Amino acid sequence: MPNPLFRPPEKLIQEWPEVFEDMYMNTMPVAYLKSVRLEFDNGRIWEIDIQEQLSKANKDIIAEKLLDTFTEYQKEITKVDFSIDIQRLKQDITDETKKLF
pTM beyond 0.75, yes or no: no
Write out the residue range of the structural domain in which residue 32 sits. Answer: 4-96
* 101 belongs to a structural domain: no
Total structural domains within the chain: 1
Mean pLDDT score, 59-74: 88
* 74 belongs to a structural domain: yes
Rounded Cα–Cα distance for residues 99 and 97 (Å):
5
20 or 51, higher pLDDT: 51
- The DSSP call for residue 8 is P
Strand extents, DSSP E, 1-101: 33-40, 45-49, 77-84
Specify the pLDDT at position 88: 86
